[in-house]
Structure 1
Amino acid sequence: MRIGLIRMKYSPYGGAEIFLERFINELKRRGHEIDVFSSDWPEAEGIRVHRIRTGGPRFLRPLIFAAGAARAVEKAQCDCVISLERTYCQDIYRAGDGCHREWLARKRAMASAPKRALISMNPLHAALLYLEARLFSSPRLKRVVANSRMVRDDIIRHYGLPKKRICVIYNGFDAPPPSTDGAGTRAGIRSRLGISEETVLLLFVGSGFERKGLIHAIRSLGLLRDKGDVRLLVIGKGATSGYSAEAKRLGVGDRVIFMGPVNGVFEYYGAADVFVLPTLYEPFSNACLEAMAAGLPVITSRANGVSEILTGAGYRASIDEAADTHGLASAIETLLDKDARAKASKAVREIASGFTIGRNVTEFLKLIEEVSTDA
């Protein structure tokens, strides 16, 4: 089968791009032909890359890309087209970035009056809302894939799509083999960071610090400053000065380590003790699933779709609100005990083992067959 995949931009650290790379590799392994429609997706063996030109002001780029993708898709004649972008030329839309209308509603609810005005005047939001509305009303669209029930329900609430047209397929991840490089082991990484084995190391992974709730992770660390040697390692792209200042104000400036984006992040899961992601809105965090696969207990917010698979973890794995720093600190405190962490580690690893790339691709291929039959 010839399958087309649409993604505007490539980032080696982006969750959607990481998912798509894994998805493509599994499709290729199963013998399918792959076309990728993108402005900058890297060339790779066994993939036809169709370059879609974008340019101009930032708010116009999604509109220009959507129009260019529609023209390129029409020429390519794929058997099925899956888009990870707000475009209107696909058979299946994977809503991996969530529902933009819902994200804006949450963002406005937390913002001051001046910030709410700026949000309303931002032309990028207007462009994305236009594209989102257009894609959900597109006559070509046959199915929507949400990577959590939360996102499915957001789309139904805001756009009125029938529930039967939305399929929930959770993300998948296959854990790599343990590192044989001494520098990449738990002891090697902690030694390089100056972290003793007695320290409880919290890990935060993700770019887009505001949406992913880094400020709440830092404030919860402040509440734990008298609970022993607890530190926070932050991996991801973003400005750190404001967060460093807040950590210093709370008396934990020397307990927060900013690494920036890194390659080989999986090794850091093994070096940490607890993964924290008090996100404001996250359709389904790949980083959380990766941490679970590494046996790292995860604490996140209910605004993260991954919380749906953590309900049977046996410990407090989610908080109701991202800004509930006391709740987050309390949940972390229960895992300061080594035995409690070991029990939680076993539970999350077992949960993650059921969510593989193979399972994800199999569910997608079943959906493609359904779409083809309906046609």
Structure 2
Amino acid sequence: MQAGVETVLSCPLRILMLSPQYRPIVGGYERAAERLSAALAARGHCVTVIAERRDKAWPAAEFLEGVSVRRLWCAYLPRLHMPTALISLTLFLLTQGRRFDVWHVHQYGLHASLAVALGRLLHRPVVLKLTSSGGQGVARATAAGRFPSLSAALLRRVTAVVALSRETTGEALAFGIPPERIHHLANGVDTAKFRPQSERERYELKQKLGIGLHRAVIYVGRLSHEKNPDGLLHAWSKARPLLTADWKLVFVGDGPMRGELESTVRANGFEADVLFAGQQSRVEQWMGAADIYVSSSHREGLSNTLLEAMASGLPVVATRVSGVTELVKETDAGLVAEVGNMDQLSRALVMLAGDGLLGAKMGAVGRQVISKSYSIESVAARHEALYLSLINASSALRQSNSSRPTEQLKTAAHLPHPFSVLMFVPQYPYPVVGGLEKQSHELARALAAEGFPVQVVSGRTARGQPCSDVVEGVSVTRISWPRRKLCRFFRAPIDVARALWRRRRSYDVIHLHQHSWVGLYVILLAKLLGKPILTKLPNVGDLGLPGLRKQAFGWLRHAILLQSDGIVAMSAQSLAELDYVRYSRERVLLTPNGIALREMSVRMATEDLSVDACQVVFLGRLSEEKQLDVLLDAWAVVCNDGTHEASLAIWGEGPMEHALKQQCVDLGIDTRVKFAGHVGSAASRLAEMDILVLPSRAEGNSNAILEAMAAGLPIVSTPVGGTPMLVGDLGIHFLFRPGDVHTLSVVLLRLIKDRSLRLRTGMAMRRRAEQHFDIQDVARTYATAYGLLAAGKRDLIGKASNPVVLEGS
């Protein structure tokens, strides 16, 4: 199985998730579908979710956590909802279903039957997830729906079934699905997000959430009849007189029974003992503040909240519904009551509330069970293996997505004369030195060093810049670049056209480094001149293709960009965005940014270890997307720890500098933070530091991270863009979610206090940079792609790709 997973990582799958209800609708199977989709996308796969657009206010298309979400039109009205939803789904699957390698259907119903039928027609494997059992199991739900005989016949022909528990497995067998098609795969849980809390953390969360000094029994779920919250209140009324005064029952969730439950609480005088928290987006905080988890459901599939509670280290009291026996009873992670027996449930609550040692032991067992078998990473890996086995891992699929050049590729890249490249970079060093400008210059230098003729056309952005120049061996032509945007809008296209026309015989390929409006004009000029053009996508999300569509005339700019003969993607997310707009994979070059390793100083592990002070550095522009306010909040926590000496240096300039300095004063950390402004030769000075921190909410392939890796520093950053790929398997342990102050402070303190860990990790980063990100190797990848374009073989440039781009798990 493991070998299969490794194959997936080098050949990403195109996975279609069919989930009629998806965000913003929040329920059990919706959350499970969302979690699995995001985990598969993080592992490098191209995941698209199809859902219903029941409200015009919901976007028809968006990009969430690396997943493309398409909401199909339906008339959400009685008698019209199902027919219109099925028509939209049919049209989508018939026109675009072949783009995907496997279809995964979440929840059964007519849409599942339709997907099975069309999957067989289009020769696509279909996976059906059985999300519940008993009264909502596949047999009874199908029998109670429309066209029961036809639906049942189709569902029995599904390629594979995912069963969440032994109960759902038995029901699938009884329904008539052959055992070889049934796969026992559970839901997964984010074990980093849902984790046991220290006593101090639990106390702080209780104060924050209004629980105060009470100990809490927590219920998380919809307040509806199948969840039996009224039965839980009945059990609580019996248990409460036997508990100490500091216990409180907390309902997290909303639903049609809330009013009835609140009336019952008032009628019985329980207002001080019961808290209705309503719908909450940060469920992990409520789990962290609780002491016992309780579930009183009449039926479940495999409860997500049960998994989350166990991951949070809570002892469990639950009714014996699907999955509870094997998860709770057989592992001793909690106590189990029979369905509907609220007396048993009440006695279990009293037992756990009165025995703290037993509860702590059960909570620890539950956490161990979840970490071992139910983490979202391991669940996603098992789904990868299932998908790959269904697709049969044919050699045709592997070859179509192969990342290494073949003999045909090498032959096609060979030209009877050396080809030359013209790069267009709106701003080129120097004096403008940003990430994009650095990378374009490093690549141009490396290509020149390999013997390829390279010239650059750029804007004259500063006074005194010559119109023609040679910068470290690279020929640069600078055109007029007025400071006023309106003047530039009319002047720049004329000068760009003149420059490209005059030099048309001196270059074979155009490389565009930025899809600004001037860059898109370059694409049109390349088409008029008959020159192949390779366009680089420097970023993702709002700064990538999805963001381009939101700009003025976004549809036009988007259409022009897709006319490029080839596009460079630097991360799995960027590839997913291209997949979403149906850009041919054969014309996508996967390659990371590179770094001139031979010019970088390295922090050696033999340095003086008697120095206690740890120097943490941020390198970049002081702008909103870098989220430096989050870093400063975390740094305040680090400073308050008081068990170390550490300083934070902020290298860079930008519009937020004044606000950030004021924040330091407000937090009382201004003496522990140094704003250095623009630092010349920052790359060479990184070897003097100990840790690089980059809390950005958006990145492509960060030059700061590459430079820090080359300098031998550990990286603390967010898992955005290509960052997980850059830092690799070891480095992902030091990544944190954008905006997560707590995790950032914990990771920083861990590295600050452990010098040996810093040095080991830093040396591993240097080795990874040497292995994958040397600029000379990157330049050779580009040279192969240029050769193919110049030879008219644009459909082969995908074969020149570097497979490291798809790493990130």
Paired AA for residue 17 in structure 1: E
**Residue 102 to residue 47, structure 1, CA distance change in 2 (3 Å):** closer
8 Å contact from structure 2 (residues 15, 47) kept in 1 = yes
Determine whether 1:214 maps to 2:236: no
Write out aligned runs for 1:265-284 (5 A): 265-284=283-302
Structure 2 stretches lacking a partner, 5+ long:
1-12, 54-59, 117-125, 395-809
TM-fit CA distance, 1:328: 0.3
SS of match in other structure, 2:272: helix
Determine whether 1:75 maps to 2:95: yes
8 Å contact from structure 2 (residues 73, 88) kept in 1 = yes
8 Å contact from structure 2 (residues 194, 308) kept in 1 = no
SS of match in other structure, 1:335: helix
TM-fit CA distance, 1:152: 2.1
Question: Matched residues in 1 for 2:220 and 2:21: separation?
Answer: 21
SS of match in other structure, 1:281: coil
Paired AA for residue 219 in structure 1: H
Larger Rg: 2
Paired AA for residue 10 in structure 1: Y
Question: Matched residues in 2 for 1:286 and 1:94: separation?
Answer: 14
TM-fit CA distance, 1:47: 3.9
Per the normalisation by structure 2, the TM-score is 0.40
Partner of 1:331: 348
**Residue 192 to residue 358, structure 1, CA distance change in 2 (3 Å):** closer
**Residue 193 to residue 358, structure 1, CA distance change in 2 (3 Å):** closer
Number of equivalent positions: 351
Question: Matched residues in 2 for 1:147 and 1:220: separation?
Answer: 28
Partner of 1:120: none
Identify the match of residue 368 of structure 1 among 380, 384, 387: 387
**Residue 28 to residue 314, structure 1, CA distance change in 2 (3 Å):** closer
SS of match in other structure, 1:353: helix
Partner of 1:95: 130
Identify the match of residue 207 of structure 2 among 191, 201, 212: 191
8 Å contact from structure 2 (residues 318, 335) kept in 1 = yes
8 Å contact from structure 1 (residues 300, 307) kept in 2 = no
Larger relative contact order (Cα-Cα within 8 Å, sequence gap ≥ 6): 1
SS of match in other structure, 2:218: strand
Question: Matched residues in 2 for 1:176 and 1:146: separation?
Answer: 25
Identify the match of residue 204 of structure 1 among 219, 224, 244: 219
TM-fit CA distance, 1:364: 1.2
Write out aligned runs for 1:212-291 (5 A): 212-227=227-242, 228-229=244-245, 230-239=247-256, 240-291=258-309
8 Å contact from structure 1 (residues 203, 275) kept in 2 = yes
Structure 1 stretches lacking a partner, 5+ long:
107-123
Q: Sequence identity of aligned pairs in percent?
A: 23
8 Å contact from structure 2 (residues 22, 34) kept in 1 = no
Partner of 2:183: 167
**Residue 18 to residue 177, structure 1, CA distance change in 2 (3 Å):** closer
8 Å contact from structure 2 (residues 132, 138) kept in 1 = no
Identify the match of residue 54 of structure 1 among 70, 74, 78: 74
Question: Matched residues in 1 for 2:171 and 2:203: separation?
Answer: 43
SS of match in other structure, 2:237: helix
Partner of 2:19: 7
Question: Matched residues in 2 for 1:30 and 1:302: separation?
Answer: 35
**Residue 67 to residue 95, structure 1, CA distance change in 2 (3 Å):** farther
Write out aligned runs for 1:336-347 (5 A): 336=353, 337-347=355-365
Identify the match of residue 84 of structure 1 among 96, 103, 106: 106
8 Å contact from structure 2 (residues 132, 322) kept in 1 = no
TM-fit CA distance, 1:190: 2.2
CA RMSD of aligned residues (A): 3.1
Question: Matched residues in 1 for 2:164 and 2:191: separation?
Answer: 19
Question: Matched residues in 2 for 1:80 and 1:8: separation?
Answer: 17
Question: Matched residues in 2 for 1:128 and 1:204: separation?
Answer: 37
Question: Matched residues in 2 for 1:63 and 1:307: separation?
Answer: 39
Paired AA for residue 301 in structure 1: T
Question: Matched residues in 1 for 2:293 and 2:327: separation?
Answer: 15
Question: Matched residues in 2 for 1:37 and 1:83: separation?
Answer: 10
Question: Matched residues in 1 for 2:172 and 2:233: separation?
Answer: 32
Partner of 1:35: 48
SS of match in other structure, 1:280: coil
Determine whether 1:149 maps to 2:166: yes
**Residue 308 to residue 42, structure 1, CA distance change in 2 (3 Å):** farther
TM-fit CA distance, 1:185: 4.1
CA displacement, residues 119-160 of structure 1 (integer Å, 9 cap, x when unaligned): xxxxx95349578535414x4x21111111212222333x22
Question: Matched residues in 2 for 1:172 and 1:81: separation?
Answer: 19
**Residue 288 to residue 101, structure 1, CA distance change in 2 (3 Å):** closer
The worse-fitting range, judged by mean Cα deviation, of 237-246 and 55-64 is: 55-64
TM-fit CA distance, 1:7: 0.9
Question: Matched residues in 2 for 1:42 and 1:324: separation?
Answer: 46
8 Å contact from structure 1 (residues 222, 251) kept in 2 = no
Partner of 1:176: 192
